Structure 1
């Protein structure tokens, strides 16, 4: 009995060792985890037995001089236990989140609150230095139908068109958009065995915690041991045997130089060096090239990593409208309240746009939940300024009740709260001037806050100001979001001016208290005008939100809420009217669309909607096209169109005014649209120059442009062509019917089509005097390898289908009934073929396939021909010679296993492969694989297979052969499969 138990134990353990040493090591780790969970034996006893047998096995392996196997077994066995401990640690670390704050408040289960984010694949590496609110506003206008989305659990899974595995992923997104939560969810899903179980270790780092160690030296092994004690206890010093993912969150917060150009090369994971050298070599792939890396960053910092070091860029766009609603329904237990909040946010454009940012959804939910409970007939806040003031009020009230023993009826702004707000406001303003979102002790000291006071503030105003420490050696401080820092900075500027008369935004004014006479009646008009001028001078809009909030603070209703923080009463009624007029004057000065839009938001904060309402009335009455609009009114129309919830799929200039002036004034709307119709609008060469600049814009969305029946002439098209060559131009369809073009324009367009960056697929040149030579020049360029054209419409009225579309050689197939195997049933006029168990009553014939479930067509092909088939299950799509055997050995008669046939094998289970002379070549499986196109060019000796998806062909494989006789389309089916011709 003892012997039997011992033998069973040893046999089981040796099988585990064999699996551990195999390539499928991850399965062994997973099995061990399941066994530990289900085992009824004493865990410590079982562990001791396994360790004793492992030592014995290692001893014998070394006696057998199998040191490499012994080392690998030891490493991987220790790693299995380490993986389980690491998963347990990550589960504890990430299972709960504190929305918006670092360490206080009520924790929420991540899996319970997590709402899927909108993530797109294929983002660009261009530096976007615009204010992130501008970026969010642009995202809210963008058409999303053609973007390729990706889920967080698939972040390292290559798409079918990728020909190599993904090592390094960079994920971009503005502050508060959910990048950190995304990485935490990825790690938690792995730790809970939900996904990515091929990975043995996930090591999440943040650049915040690496910053505090920047003066120290580490090897890669030491760095991992420093942060993840489980790996140190397991004595894991070799990482090459494992699938590892390193997560580096917050590249924009990195204070390491990351000198990729000059840092020395490092390849040894045990060699100590500076963190800068360590990270650059890890990212470059010199150090531990087998590891996978995930780096997150705000857009402005993405260029710190060289493009060649990143395999794929993804963008986190935040919440879609559907995801916003899902978030609020999860956030509110009372679904009636949730519905009220969702409806309210839809009525406010500012709140609706900002709620693309998940952390702003949380701020909104925090405020609106409190106001719904206590509002006593008050309206819900509609502007950003109102929302943030209420947010401050909520936190101040919580502080009084929780820490000061106050009552609900006490004054909102206690002396302690006022002091905290003054200190945090000064810190926010000082650090905003420097561009800092993360503050260290030295930063705080510069704003007059000592480390002790900062800890008190973070412990009290937890949802505004955060302190993080723990495994870090230094304390880090930050506001929960950039917009909160900007609100407090604006509040600091406002209070400083109202209470002391000092304009912090006026560099010429001495920063000292003004005369008592001035303080008695502070007029905020001058402050607002200075702020407007300063914001308009900023090239990237970094003061946009500060300006919006600063102006909103002077609204009488907001002044009432701020009573207690202000020692003086500002004269706001007259000042606000003067500010509104000043803003309208600036709007009329021909500003960029982004600056103009922000000034309209400022007018909204002042409750002045006169310009917008005037244009809306013109639109409603249908009289807009007959009116002469002022520059300010044109800007108002741009604001209305860009703010529309309906999106900008198609822009038709004639709806507003069929004129060149209208096009020039509404150009921002053209850029943001998917399709633009500007046909027959009396455009000239001047318009072409402007449109060319539009097509060269980084923010261009336009894919289709209709310029028909405008007198552009050759000079105009030449100007337009500069934009068409731009790498930012995404235009796919261009229509130039009757635009007074000659053969010179053919030369211009031929040059455009040969450009590698040209994306044109469809071109309409009807009713132009192009001439024979012009047409020849244009058609000759269509053979250029860079040309992507599919459709060209010319004077003759016919459509000429161009490369790469081979469907002009389409041919109908007819099944040879004398070849059909008896286990294949035909239907639908012999175009549907299905494998069945019952034999079909086909007559005997020497051409009938006996052994294999196959058939051939009657079409003997010697020229060019194209056909398509749909398939299910597992099938063979082939061409074969008539002499292929119909019975006997499967190699002689099965398609692809001999020199008489060329075959594509398609399977839902095993993927795609091509066969000839019994040689198999696997090929990547397409994402939508069930329709295949086949093109035979018999004279050229090529047979090509394509995946067909949404009418587009994607090349799969081409055989090159010498066909000496006719070949026949042929098909083979495995059990339960079907083919449709």
Structure 2
């Protein structure tokens, strides 16, 4: 081996080859490695030389990924027309989430809630998910990204990888390995090492050795946790730390995610919300939530998707005219469906037939795909309607049966059981290739799914409806009632959208669109009148607010808007001021909730007294409270009975005013169950005059100690915390995680001994308290003296202190005046109203204000 400053020479056994140093050497390394070095010689090389070869391998791998991920299957399977991702990609709204919460509600319910919250959330750019937020210093190793089906999780992953491959972002990452769970399912029974797994899935990195993994920053992306069929036994699986040791796929994944195996690697997991709890919170450094398109992003998508901007404007205008369509357009896949249908229709159809409901939109989408000519033996052929009908029926059967068991991902065996021959339908049916997604795995098998859950639900409803009209002569109303009851029994609303579609398909106008698929069903007008009456009866029976909301969506699909129109008359003009005096029926209450949630007006602050000062009113309007940032429930005759339900509505609230209600200790205990949850981010909590005693304070402070970082203002005036309650509050102020800035303790019967513990807390380095109200308490001379000593302490940051009606006399005024002359005091406002300073005390205070050392700006 001969070396000089500018080159390195390698003896290969064939000739001596000189390499330039630095970047040029890296560019040439892999080519020489593969062409001139025989395998035995390659194995004998030093680790140093292997590392010189790898950069070229990495560059080749990165280039391949860029080629692969630059194309987007815009909403459909690989058989469709590919679109350049960068040409159509629209930034998706991503927010910070929480690993502790589990949301099992139907995804359409979650979308409807997000619509009300998007303007209040801070967006995170997809490429920045591994970057700590401002003020956070702990590095982020693992990220869990949640989002409903079709909301943009996989496209976000694709854009992240493409930007990395094109060296636009995350250039500190050397390797990205994307491993979808639907692929890993197929290796469930295998024993394999991490290195073997990588070499099997990614042939471009065959030069990579196990020892090299420690020298590079690697990101593993596991997409689609909700599709995982592995047990993921984090607690009981064996520990694995060797990348060359074989183990089951489950052991491999759990150890990677926990950081036992390759602890330096970054981990990114995507999933639907209901599956998030499979990953222990201690294994996740950050949770993000893909919220889909915000309102401006929806419009941006249509303008990118539709080349004719005049047509794009007409589509946007039409989508905005229908609240149900506009809400669903938070889902990017639904934007694609809408664009596909409306781009075709707005040029050719009368405006009266343009779809305005979900059922109409999906029906037109199905018809459009049915009419598509398909590829048959490389020749264009006319659509075989009989074949299309059979395919639709088979897909509907698959959709319905799998929906009942909760499956969204299918394998070829699942299709065969429903009579679907993949080879046949792929050749003859445009419906199959456009609506059903077939994906070829990285190395094994094929997996199938509907383009989106809502399409599966539509097909399931279509199958049920077709089956009914084909196989039975019984009244359709009886069938519809059974399906309504079945959907109402689903706790989490998993049949909500299915029911909307099923009832929408019973309209003659929708049946006429599908007449080539349907037998003659006769006049259904009478049955539709009966089912609307039945639905209104169910609303009157007062099911959960969420179920009532879906029943109103069902009425919309049946073109019945009478209840909504009744309530809207109350909300117009001056009627809003008198709504609290109107006695609403149960169905009108539900209509009010539906109207408020679907109005275009922002719902930032909810004030219960506007509607009804009662627990009944709050219970009925809780869905509205859930999507507001501020809730004013002051003086509404609430008791402990409402607190359990209210605790579940704290997820998005930032300000909660409960003053002048009779909550008592039992209510405070129930409310605390929500306050301690990490998803609660309340900043202001007002519990003025709520009849809370020592036990209630114990529950309150215990909850705040578990979740202390968000609360900034707390008002517990006119309650009775007792000595123990004040001690607990004082301990909270000392907690380094507590960020409380304003504390109101007016008329809490606080005496001298409690003032001592408060004073100790205020001297704490941790306390950030700026405002303290101790009016109408009994500090005594010793208590005032303790507070005066606190004001002189450089650790105390108090700027506003209220001591009105505290029986403070001349001596107390003297020590306060002395403290306020101190350079250390930050106090700007002092309230000494309703005390007895005497002439001398007044003079001392007057002299204080003239003292240039005094920083006091306001004195009462």
Bin of the TM-score, shorter chain as denominator length = 0.7 to 0.9
Change (3 A) 1:13 1:382: farther
Q: Which residue in the other structure is 2:624 paired with?
A: 669
Counterparts of 1:724 and 1:286 in 2: how far apart (Å)?
34
Partner residue of 2:75 out of 80, 100, 116? 100
Counterparts of 1:541 and 1:232 in 2: how far apart (Å)?
48
Counterparts of 1:276 and 1:721 in 2: how far apart (Å)?
38
Counterparts of 1:705 and 1:806 in 2: how far apart (Å)?
20
Give the count of matched residue pairs: 751
SS state of the match for residue 565, structure 2?
helix
Partner residue of 1:757 out of 686, 703, 706? 706
Q: Which residue in the other structure is 2:482 paired with?
A: 530
Change (3 A) 1:77 1:445: same
Counterparts of 1:367 and 1:285 in 2: how far apart (Å)?
47
Q: Which residue in the other structure is 1:132 paired with?
A: 107
Is 1:230 aligned to 2:204, yes or no? yes
Give the CA deviation at 1:167.
1.8
Q: Which residue in the other structure is 1:85 paired with?
A: 60
Counterparts of 1:745 and 1:707 in 2: how far apart (Å)?
16
Is 1:110 aligned to 2:110, yes or no? no
Counterparts of 1:596 and 1:209 in 2: how far apart (Å)?
40
Give the CA deviation at 1:125.
3.4
TM-score for both structures, normalised by structure 2: 0.79
Q: Which residue in the other structure is 2:225 paired with?
A: 251
Instruction: Assess if the C-alpha contact under 8 Å between 2:426 and 2:433 holds in 1.
Output: no
Partner residue of 1:635 out of 562, 565, 590? 590
SS state of the match for residue 462, structure 1?
helix
Is 1:157 aligned to 2:131, yes or no? yes
Counterparts of 1:715 and 1:698 in 2: how far apart (Å)?
18
Is 1:205 aligned to 2:179, yes or no? yes
Q: Which residue in the other structure is 1:293 paired with?
A: 267
Partner residue of 1:608 out of 522, 546, 560? 560
Counterparts of 1:711 and 1:478 in 2: how far apart (Å)?
53
Over residues 807-864 of structure 1, what are the superposed CA-to-partner deviations in whole Å (9 max), with x where a residue is unaligned? 689xxxxxxxxxxxxxxxxxxxxxxxxxxxxxxxxxxxxxxxxxxxxxxxxxxxx962
Is 1:625 aligned to 2:580, yes or no? yes
SS state of the match for residue 426, structure 1?
helix
Change (3 A) 1:454 1:292: farther
Q: Which residue in the other structure is 2:839 paired with?
A: none
Change (3 A) 1:598 1:229: same
Q: Which residue in the other structure is 1:933 paired with?
A: none
Q: Which residue in the other structure is 1:598 paired with?
A: 550
Over residues 677-725 of structure 1, what are the superposed CA-to-partner deviations in whole Å (9 max), with x where a residue is unaligned? 23343x143xx421x1133216632222223445666776676556555
Counterparts of 1:158 and 1:684 in 2: how far apart (Å)?
42
Change (3 A) 1:339 1:746: farther
Instruction: Assess if the C-alpha contact under 8 Å between 1:754 and 1:784 holds in 2.
Output: no
Instruction: Assess if the C-alpha contact under 8 Å between 2:193 and 2:245 holds in 1.
Output: yes
- Superposed, 1:360-439 pairs within 5 Å as 360-399=334-373, 414-439=385-410
Q: Which residue in the other structure is 1:694 paired with?
A: 645
Give the CA deviation at 1:135.
1.6
Is 1:551 aligned to 2:512, yes or no? no
Q: Bigger shift: 188-197 or 307-316?
A: 307-316
Partner residue of 2:116 out of 132, 141, 148? 141
Q: Which residue in the other structure is 1:341 paired with?
A: 315
Counterparts of 1:272 and 1:717 in 2: how far apart (Å)?
53
Change (3 A) 1:423 1:678: same
Give the CA deviation at 1:749.
3.0
Counterparts of 2:248 and 2:49 in 1: how far apart (Å)?
30
Instruction: Assess if the C-alpha contact under 8 Å between 1:696 and 1:728 holds in 2.
Output: no
Is 1:173 aligned to 2:136, yes or no? no
SS state of the match for residue 203, structure 1?
strand
SS state of the match for residue 371, structure 2?
helix
Counterparts of 2:327 and 2:320 in 1: how far apart (Å)?
9
Partner residue of 2:458 out of 487, 500, 507? 487
Counterparts of 1:721 and 1:125 in 2: how far apart (Å)?
16
Q: Bigger shift: 621-630 or 432-441?
A: 621-630
Q: Which residue in the other structure is 1:585 paired with?
A: 537
Change (3 A) 1:457 1:137: farther
Q: Which residue in the other structure is 1:943 paired with?
A: none
Give the CA deviation at 1:92.
1.2
Q: Bigger shift: 89-98 or 776-785?
A: 776-785
Counterparts of 1:478 and 1:719 in 2: how far apart (Å)?
43
Counterparts of 1:237 and 1:772 in 2: how far apart (Å)?
63
Over residues 576-610 of structure 1, what are the superposed CA-to-partner deviations in whole Å (9 max), with x where a residue is unaligned? 11110100100111111111111000000001010
Q: Bigger shift: 229-238 or 263-272?
A: 229-238
Change (3 A) 1:100 1:158: same
Change (3 A) 1:545 1:865: closer
Give the CA deviation at 1:83.
1.1
Partner residue of 1:734 out of 685, 700, 712? 685
Instruction: Assess if the C-alpha contact under 8 Å between 2:570 and 2:579 holds in 1.
Output: yes
Q: Bigger shift: 776-785 or 473-482?
A: 776-785
Give the CA deviation at 1:329.
1.2
Counterparts of 1:769 and 1:272 in 2: how far apart (Å)?
63
Q: Which residue in the other structure is 2:94 paired with?
A: 119
Q: Which residue in the other structure is 1:446 paired with?
A: 417
Instruction: Assess if the C-alpha contact under 8 Å between 2:507 and 2:524 holds in 1.
Output: yes
- Superposed, 1:847-926 pairs within 5 Å as 864=794
Give the CA deviation at 1:376.
4.0
Counterparts of 2:720 and 2:182 in 1: how far apart (Å)?
63
Q: Which residue in the other structure is 2:838 paired with?
A: none
Counterparts of 2:24 and 2:153 in 1: how far apart (Å)?
33
SS state of the match for residue 238, structure 1?
helix
Q: Which residue in the other structure is 2:215 paired with?
A: 241
Counterparts of 2:278 and 2:428 in 1: how far apart (Å)?
33
Instruction: Assess if the C-alpha contact under 8 Å between 2:214 and 2:264 holds in 1.
Output: yes
Give the CA deviation at 1:783.
4.0
Is 1:351 aligned to 2:325, yes or no? yes
Instruction: Assess if the C-alpha contact under 8 Å between 2:306 and 2:312 holds in 1.
Output: yes
Instruction: Assess if the C-alpha contact under 8 Å between 2:441 and 2:447 holds in 1.
Output: no
Counterparts of 2:350 and 2:375 in 1: how far apart (Å)?
20
Change (3 A) 1:705 1:304: closer
Greater helix proportion: 2
SS state of the match for residue 202, structure 1?
strand
Counterparts of 1:129 and 1:551 in 2: how far apart (Å)?
24
Q: Which residue in the other structure is 1:841 paired with?
A: none
- Superposed, 1:52-67 pairs within 5 Å as none
Partner residue of 2:160 out of 179, 186, 190? 186
TM-score for both structures, normalised by structure 1: 0.70
Change (3 A) 1:81 1:793: same
Give the CA deviation at 1:48.
5.0
Is 1:266 aligned to 2:240, yes or no? yes
Counterparts of 2:683 and 2:4 in 1: how far apart (Å)?
67
Instruction: Assess if the C-alpha contact under 8 Å between 1:383 and 1:605 holds in 2.
Output: yes
Counterparts of 2:537 and 2:61 in 1: how far apart (Å)?
61
Change (3 A) 1:722 1:200: closer
Change (3 A) 1:197 1:661: closer
Counterparts of 1:220 and 1:314 in 2: how far apart (Å)?
27
Give the CA deviation at 1:446.
1.9
Change (3 A) 1:564 1:746: same
Counterparts of 2:134 and 2:333 in 1: how far apart (Å)?
34
Counterparts of 1:265 and 1:776 in 2: how far apart (Å)?
47
Unaligned ranges ≥5, structure 1: 1-5, 16-27, 37-42, 502-517, 810-861, 868-936, 941-981
Counterparts of 1:723 and 1:462 in 2: how far apart (Å)?
47
Q: Bigger shift: 558-567 or 745-754?
A: 745-754
Over residues 102-127 of structure 1, what are the superposed CA-to-partner deviations in whole Å (9 max), with x where a residue is unaligned? 21232111111111111112423333
- Superposed, 1:763-778 pairs within 5 Å as 763-765=714-716, 768=718
Give the CA deviation at 1:160.
4.8
Give the CA deviation at 1:302.
1.7
Counterparts of 2:116 and 2:496 in 1: how far apart (Å)?
18
